[in-house]
């Protein structure tokens, strides 16, 4: 799935990903959510053929500059950087996952 999304820099509809891979929408949504949690893709809502769907875009990261290394854990940027979610740090899954990675890296 990630290779298909990466090969479409202008984005690809989630429904087209599902069709290309021959998987059902439930499995497709599960896989998309996993890739988003890993910060490998982002998605934007889109109306296509009168139906609400999402367009999926690959996220690329070319490597940290020296001043950014403190924002990295296991090569992943702090999820708060550029985050547009409604912020609830105490229950935020991406933040918790990242903090555990920082702790693991430092121990």
Closest CB 35 distance from ligand SF4, rounded Å: 16
In the block, residue with structure tokens 């933040």? 95
Pick 21 or 83: Cβ nearer ligand SF4: 83
Q: How far is CA 106 from CA 40, 76, 91, 103, in A?
A: 24, 15, 23, 5
Residue numbers 50-79 binding ligand SF4 by CB under 6 A: 79
CA 23 – CA 57 distance, rounded (Å): 19
Q: Does residue 83 bind ligand SF4 (CB under 6 A)?
A: yes
Task: List the structure tokens of 71.
Answer: 């924002």
Pick 13 or 95: Cβ nearer ligand SF4: 95
Q: Does residue 37 bind ligand SF4 (CB under 6 A)?
A: no
Cα 98 off chain centre by: 14
Positions in the binding site for ligand SF4 (CB under 6 A): 79-80, 83, 85, 87, 89, 92, 94-95
């Amino acid at each position: 799935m990630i290779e298909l999304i990466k090969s479409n820099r202008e984005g690809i509809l989630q429904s087209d990903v599902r069709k290309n891979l021959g998987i059902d929408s439930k499995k497709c949504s599960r896989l998309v959510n996993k890739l988003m949690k890993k910060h490998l893709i982002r998605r934007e809502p889109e109306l296509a053929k009168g139906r609400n769907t999402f367009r999926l875009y690959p996220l690329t990261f070319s490597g940290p500059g020296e001043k950014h290394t403190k924002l990295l854990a296991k090569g992943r940027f702090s999820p708060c950087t550029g985050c547009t979610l409604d912020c609830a740090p105490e229950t935020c899954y991406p933040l918790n996952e990242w903090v555990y990675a920082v702790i693991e890296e430092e121990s």
